[in-house]
Amino acid sequence: MPELPEVEVVRRGLAPFVTGATVSSVEILEPRSLRRHAEGPDDFAGRLTGARLLAPERRGKFLWVPIADADAALLVHLGMSGQVLVNPTADDRHLRVRILLADGSRVDFADQRIFGSLAIDRLMPVPERPSTRSARSGSRMPVPERAAGESKGIPSQVAHIARDPLDPAFSDRDFVRRIRAKRTETKRALLDQTLVSGIGNIYADEALWAARVHPRQPTETLSAVAAGRILAAVRDVMTRALDEGGTSFDELYVNVNGQSGYFSRSLTAYARQDQPCLRCGRPMVRESFMNRGSHYCRNCQRLR
């Protein structure tokens, strides 16, 4: 499933085409791709047609495009195989929804497995926070609740998830406190979108390898230093993944131009079972985890 870097790559690619654009028509080829829109396909198409779109935004793995003069947004969830394609040269065989813009541009939503979805969702107000404390510096500083350029609301279907580590208003202090208060395994905590959003299986494995923390390390045993080290590793790996266009293992994840990301060439843990650890040379292992797998080094990431 696309994680934060992949969704952010799509958001950045989509922004120049939809910001300020007006929707001229909507074609729905697969109603199942609108299952998050409870009012049905006709309502979806009717509300979106004629709407003027604002700059796309993102939280974690969710992407949305606010609608001007309305407390609503076009919400996009890529799921396992969803793709947002701008001005493709040919129809994708898994095309589900086509959105035509007044300037002649076209935005297609393709989805092989139909686990992704589109919806028009209401925007909920986001309250301001006066200040927070940085876990890295320990200094008191004002932090806006909304990132610069962000609209004054968040889709109702996204409101329950936490901010992600690349959000300017993310609180390091709160993250460290909350992960240490949990009674679970560290990797499970990282995948909990109510604690921190945007992290999936790939980047959890990568960050834990970089921080030298075992995936099954009990969260209540983490020191504040170790928790901060994990968070720093998450930010680092996601930033590097963004620079390389995200991680693509097959044709399911592509950017808006249909191009794959190249971070798979830089992976240090994920999908490297039986290969030598890039730190110590011991074989990397893979253990079953939540119907997926955890990849780590038994020597560098010892269960303590």
* Catalytic (active-site) positions: 2-3, 61, 292
Neighbours of 297 (CB within 10 A): 24
Q: d(Cα 134, Cα 120) in Å, to the nearest integer? A: 35
Going from the C-alpha of 87 to that of each of 18, 81, 100, 270, 284, the distances in angstroms are 12, 19, 10, 33, 42
Q: d(Cα 1, Cα 200) in Å, to the nearest integer? A: 8
Q: Is 169 exposed, middle or buried (0-12, 13-18, 19+ CB in 10 A)?
A: middle
Length of the chain: 304
